[in-house]
Structure 1
Amino acid sequence: MSKENNQPKPKFNSYWIYAAIIAVILSFNLFGNTTTSTDISKNKFEELLRSNNIENISIVNKDYAEIHLTKEAQETYKDKNQDNILPWAPTKPVLTYNFGSLENFENLINKNKEKYNLTIDLKFDNRTDLFDSLIGFLPFIVILGIWIFMMRRMSGGASGGGAGGQIFNIGKSKAKLFDEKQKVKVSFKDVAGLVGAKEEVQEIVDFLKNPEKYTNLGGKIPKGALLVGPPGTGKTLLAKAVAGEAGVPFFSLSGSDFVEMFVGVGASRVRDLFKQAAQKSPSIIFIDEIDAIGRARGKSNMTGGNDERENTLNQLLTEMDGFGTDVNVIVIAATNRADVLDKALMRAGRFDRQIYVDLPDLNERSAIFNVHLKPLKLGTDLNVDFLAQQTPGFSGADIANLCNEAALMAARKGKESIDNQDFLDSVDRIVGGLEKKNKIISAKEKKTIAYHEAGHATASWMLEHAAPLVKVTIVPRGQSLGAAWYLPEERMIVQTEQMLDEMCATLAGRAAEKIIFNKISTGALSDLEKVTKQARAMVSIYGLSEKVGNLTYYDSSGQEYGFTKPYSETTAKLIDEEISNLIEAQYQRAITILTENKDKLTALADRLLEKEVIFKDDLVKIFGERAFLSESEKLEKKLKEQETEEETSEVKS
């Protein structure tokens, strides 16, 4: 094929119509009148009358007179007026005379006609100027243009032919279609972790590809699957993988795409969406952030935007499992707030599967790291398992951001590859914030911060269930003046002793200030907030208090109690006392531990003041090896032993 045939044809644009109208108006004004005109005085007019150089006179709108000259007289005025017209336009000079009073003008002509025996034709001409008419209609044209513009904006830019075509498409679905012409390149191989979730949606994909495998046994295709989980865990990515694997038409849109300021538009878009999906059956519909339209319906009869959202939800319920809906369309939805969804939407027959996409565990984080590390230029000292250990609680999106941050940090330092330290620095940057080395801190404040952080480190080192220390710094970072990094174990259940040890280590910062300076400061605000929440959870949620007993005041349904409490005032007083007793007991325990190790606490604080940043090796030199090794510490020790063995073998060879 030639290059000319491959060139895309220009698409029709409604503004072409406006340009054509303007061009026609301009052409009328430029080329409609090919004659030139010159205003003359009364004396000149009477001179032309006496010399009989006038062929006829046209009185235009009883306002002024156009004087048409004879052929001989035209030559006199042609050269003078040639510059006023286009060179290719035919010229016919016309003189204009503003006569003032029409009656006096007619008397003047009749008088001269009798006197000089003239043969002049007098005509009356009523004219309408197109341009003047348009000027008169200009306000209406402006109003119409503003109305069309607002309709286009309110319709969300939906495609439609011609100006204002979007008005008629406002009730159409905004779903983006992926079919054989526009395929999604994401597959299940690109989704690391999420083993259980992938099995669930893989079955849906398999059903669409091989329905006979299930229908022969009497099975029915599931109506829908709801992906639930924290932000950044890969719900949308999993839906993209379904689109890439299924090989059937895939409609993708967000829950907010149904919301519009016009009444009935949301329900209309739902109908149109399912109509399109049914025409391309079997097909999949993916609705991201479905809580935008799927929130629980209230009992109040208030009208407005809430009523419109309920109409949209009612239409969605009808389309998913209403009377006579037996089309082969599967709905996959994603949300972070399953607790606020309407119960009618969650029932079996609409969303048969509720797939919880949780934060990745240790092995899943390793797999996610392997996916995001592929395009990066890495150093030789990088250990993926170690990085997975250092990032507990990170979601897939957090890990992707960490890898990108490490690449930017290495480029900022002028490195040719990304090493292990760049990733560790990126973890600190994401968790703690940006370092503020230029922040002015007095020597007294710096010493207080050093002992505060040394107290945390000392207590966590001495307590069995406290999280092992990774790094301590007194360099301001983010909103904190100092920080300590720990590596918490990933536990499925937490015992009372483990929570108490964590509370003790958290309160050890304020305890160190009390022991060394016999004063306390406001620097323990975040610590107090953390232990207060832990103690309240132990007493009122997990039932770990002997005095309160095996009771919980936690509502898993997400319903708020409002201004009322689910317990009496006596119980509330008992809960407050138990929370206070728990916190004070662990505070006194922290003081006891730090008092017994005051010399080591002082040595650690001095080293921290000297180096500003200390690591686990510094604590080993002061305290000796930790008696209680966590799983992460065992892995770290094993990695170091392997490195030592490799170095020894290299030396021997």
Structure 2
Amino acid sequence: MSKDNKSNKLKISPWLIYGGILLMFFAIQYVVGDSNWSEPRPTSLSTFYKYLDAGQVNKVVYSKTTADIYIKDQFLKNKEHQKVPQKDMFGNPNRGPHYTVVIGDKNELFTKKLDEAYNAKKLNDYSAEPESMWGDVLLTLLPILILVALWIFMMRRMSGGGAGGGGGQIFNIGKSKAKLFDEKNDIKVTFKDVAGLEGAKEEIQEIVEFLKNPEKYTSIGGKIPKGALLVGPPGTGKTLLAKAVAGEAKVPFFSLSGSDFVEMFVGVGASRVRDLFKQAKEKSPAIIFIDEIDAVGRARGKNNFSGSNDERENTLNQLLTEMDGFGTNTNVIVLAATNRADVLDKALMRAGRFDRQIYVDLPDIRERREIFEVHLKPLKKSEDLDTEFLAKQTPGFSGADIANVCNEAALIAARNDKKAVDKQDFLDAVDRIVGGLEKKNKIISPEEKRAIAIHEAGHATVSWMLEHAAPLVKVTIVPRGQSLGAAWYLPEERLIVRPEQMLDEMCATMGGRAAEKVTFDKISTGALSDLEKVTKQARAMVTIYGLNEKLGNITYYDSSGQSEYNFSKPYSEDTAQVIDKEISMLIEAQYQRAISILEENKDKLTKLADILIEREVIFKDDLEDIFGKRPYDKPGHEMVTEA
């Protein structure tokens, strides 16, 4: 079905359904009540004979057991008929029936009386009406029909709305929700659109080659891999790689999320897995892509303390069976993506199911430059814009972060009525994303402003004086986001970190609070984020990396991610006290070290703070004017922000 046909398809509003049910009630009442809403009053047979003999009856309609009595209009106002409603619910004169009488087994006498009255001109008309069962049948079946209609309506809404079409959605609830990419109509993403990720692309391209030319590998006895698991931090391009596979592979590509298997009905997840692999096998060779597979692939029996989710485990069991069970599917490759590989079930990770685990890491400086070049193509940029410079300003940024920087820079340029995006727009975009929105109108007292300036100047001074601390590039006391000041640094990209490097970074981080202590002999709450960062670093040194002499070469880090389910800590209470003491000693030692550095350079610290109060933003050149050239500077450093 084309997109136009889908958009023109009639959509039934639930209010139409409710209105239809109400109309059914009215129609049934109309049929059963002979189009009259006034209830006839019951009366006795003797009273009816009295009205009949007096010539007050206009018409009689009788059935086997009862009769409806219509009184002539001129007699309705009599005192004896005052209990009969004179008007119906719409305000019109009550046309009857006015009375109802039970005939019982006196049917012959009753008809004889009617004949006599009719012949004597005391009765205008009488007729026998055969018993109709339709009214009773409708009244009996109506509640059941309404319940069935509401149940079908609710099932359609809960199982995904109109997918599946018509009234048959309830029967399609166990069908797969995977989207089949059509290579002719769908927008293509190819490997050319995926910058960086060279190792991951090479692995993925080989999988595409397996499907395009399987004989190349099977002719010498090789087997086509069953699946590949893409693992990495959010925003690094795992889903983009899968889209590139869909664009490159000339084979059917089924795409869905792990949560699409999960439903409130028992057995639906497993049924959808079976249906998905059945469709893929019919169209083999084919690729199945499951995004966020941790939604169904979490380790069984370890998901929470309240008891395992049997439905999710059944879905996982079915997935394991389909990937490498007794009836193995051939020429169907499964790609999956997750950033929570540590919580996945071991059976899912084994060879024969996901033969290859491809780690998609954060891009390095060279890969960031390539990603910038991809995202800069649609932008109107200035000619002197250097992607190498932009890559240096964004260490630790993922591909999604870089796309966000490019978009934010374009918005900033448009806000300033520029015709092209230039270098300053990108710097402002990085500041905006990392630090938050500037709040220039925030009311800060002069005393608080000086305290903030001293704090930020303390960070700058200590980092400038230490060899392994990241040197400062820019400091501001303009509030950003939740912080009252921010500093931009030039860290190295390190693959391994030594203890002296971590200690220098901790010392520079404590420089803000140390500067407050040295200058005012008081401390404030402004160092909260600094304390949080330092405490995490110190705890990592002691409990994770084994860099503490007292504890020795031991780690309490659990790479499987299952430590959160343990009821006890992996160390004794005595060890816990040692850990707490060592962490405190590490932080306090670096705090005292920062104080001693700042006391030696107190005049420079004050001068730097005064310039910061005056200008609100200072740069590396201002620090060089005060402190002189930094002896530890190395080329190739990059920038990051810390509040």
| TM, length-normalised to structure 1 | 0.81
Structure 2 residue identity aligned to 1:178: F
Shift of 1:587: 1.9
- Distance in 1 (alpha carbons) for counterparts of 2:499 and 2:187: 49
Q: Residue in 2 aligned with 1:559?
A: 562
1:392 and 2:395 matched? yes
CA contact (8 A) 2:518 2:599 kept: yes
Structure 1 residue identity aligned to 2:338: T
Task: Tell me which of 222, 227, 232 is aligned to 1:229.
Answer: 232
- Distance in 1 (alpha carbons) for counterparts of 2:362 and 2:383: 29
- Distance in 1 (alpha carbons) for counterparts of 2:424 and 2:456: 23
Structure 2 residue identity aligned to 1:551: I
Q: Residue in 2 aligned with 1:429?
A: 432
- Determine helix, strand or coil for the equivalent of 1:502: helix
CA contact (8 A) 2:343 2:562 kept: no
1:498 and 2:462 matched? no
Q: Residue in 1 aligned with 2:87?
A: none
Cα distance change, pair 600–101 in 1 and its aligned pair in 2 (3 A): closer
CA contact (8 A) 1:382 1:420 kept: yes
Shift of 1:11: 5.0
1:622 and 2:632 matched? no
- Distance in 2 (alpha carbons) for counterparts of 1:186 and 1:632: 33
Structure 2 residue identity aligned to 1:146: L
CA contact (8 A) 1:13 1:162 kept: no
Cα distance change, pair 244–610 in 1 and its aligned pair in 2 (3 A): same
1:446 and 2:457 matched? no
Q: Residue in 1 aligned with 2:271?
A: 268
Q: Residue in 2 aligned with 1:329?
A: 332
The size of the alignment, in residue pairs, is 596
Task: Tell me which of 157, 160, 167 is aligned to 1:156.
Answer: 160
Q: Residue in 2 aligned with 1:210?
A: 213
Structure 2 residue identity aligned to 1:554: Y
Task: Tell me which of 336, 347, 360 is aligned to 1:357.
Answer: 360
Task: Tell me which of 249, 256, 260 is aligned to 1:253.
Answer: 256
- Determine helix, strand or coil for the equivalent of 1:332: strand
1:479 and 2:477 matched? no
User: CA offsets per residue over residues 446-476 of structure 1, 9 Å max, x none?
Assistant: 1111111001011111212111212111122
Cα distance change, pair 224–119 in 1 and its aligned pair in 2 (3 A): closer
Structure 2 residue identity aligned to 1:587: Y
Q: Residue in 1 aligned with 2:75?
A: none
- Determine helix, strand or coil for the equivalent of 2:334: strand
- Distance in 1 (alpha carbons) for counterparts of 2:511 and 2:415: 37
- Distance in 2 (alpha carbons) for counterparts of 1:111 and 1:416: 105
Q: Percent identity?
A: 69
- Determine helix, strand or coil for the equivalent of 2:510: helix
Cα distance change, pair 454–102 in 1 and its aligned pair in 2 (3 A): closer
CA contact (8 A) 2:69 2:100 kept: no
1:146 and 2:169 matched? no
CA contact (8 A) 2:70 2:98 kept: no
CA contact (8 A) 1:538 1:544 kept: yes
- Distance in 2 (alpha carbons) for counterparts of 1:207 and 1:379: 43
Moved more, 355-364 or 541-550: 541-550
Q: Residue in 1 aligned with 2:127?
A: 123
Shift of 1:543: 2.2
Q: Residue in 1 aligned with 2:594?
A: 590
CA contact (8 A) 1:62 1:124 kept: no
Cα distance change, pair 12–21 in 1 and its aligned pair in 2 (3 A): farther
- Distance in 1 (alpha carbons) for counterparts of 2:305 and 2:397: 42
Task: Tell me which of 63, 68, 72 is aligned to 1:64.
Answer: 68
- Determine helix, strand or coil for the equivalent of 1:632: coil
Shift of 1:133: 6.4
- Determine helix, strand or coil for the equivalent of 1:494: coil
Moved more, 538-547 or 299-308: 299-308
User: CA offsets per residue over residues 488-529 of structure 1, 9 Å max, x none?
Assistant: 211111122211211111111111111111122221122122
CA contact (8 A) 2:232 2:339 kept: yes
CA contact (8 A) 1:236 1:288 kept: yes
Task: Tell me which of 193, 197, 206 is aligned to 2:196.
Answer: 193
CA contact (8 A) 1:179 1:247 kept: no
Q: Residue in 2 aligned with 1:466?
A: 469
- Determine helix, strand or coil for the equivalent of 2:327: coil
- Distance in 2 (alpha carbons) for counterparts of 1:107 and 1:568: 107
Q: Residue in 2 aligned with 1:339?
A: 342
Q: Residue in 2 aligned with 1:524?
A: 527
CA contact (8 A) 1:291 1:337 kept: yes
Task: Tell me which of 384, 397, 411 is aligned to 1:408.
Answer: 411
Moved more, 601-610 or 417-426: 417-426
Shift of 1:565: 3.6
Residue ranges of structure 1 left out of the alignment (5+ in a row): 1-5, 68-94, 636-653
Shift of 1:622: 1.8
Task: Tell me which of 305, 308, 311 is aligned to 1:308.
Answer: 311
Structure 1 residue identity aligned to 2:535: T
Shift of 1:481: 1.4
- Distance in 2 (alpha carbons) for counterparts of 1:468 and 1:347: 45
Shift of 1:342: 0.7
- Distance in 1 (alpha carbons) for counterparts of 2:303 and 2:35: 75
Shift of 1:143: 1.9
CA RMSD after TM alignment = 3.9
- Distance in 2 (alpha carbons) for counterparts of 1:143 and 1:625: 83
What are the residue-to-residue correspondences of 1:505-584 with 2, within 5 Å?
505-560=508-563, 562-584=566-588
- Distance in 1 (alpha carbons) for counterparts of 2:550 and 2:512: 29
CA contact (8 A) 2:470 2:492 kept: yes
Q: Residue in 2 aligned with 1:72?
A: none
- Distance in 1 (alpha carbons) for counterparts of 2:35 and 2:357: 82
Cα distance change, pair 25–221 in 1 and its aligned pair in 2 (3 A): same
- Distance in 1 (alpha carbons) for counterparts of 2:466 and 2:99: 112
- Distance in 2 (alpha carbons) for counterparts of 1:578 and 1:23: 78
| TM, length-normalised to structure 2 | 0.83
1:605 and 2:623 matched? no
Name the structure, 1 or 2, with higher relative contact order (CA <8 Å, separation 6+). 2
Cα distance change, pair 564–113 in 1 and its aligned pair in 2 (3 A): closer
Cα distance change, pair 142–631 in 1 and its aligned pair in 2 (3 A): farther
- Determine helix, strand or coil for the equivalent of 2:412: helix
CA contact (8 A) 1:282 1:329 kept: yes
User: CA offsets per residue over residues 410-429 of structure 1, 9 Å max, x none?
Assistant: 22222222221111111111
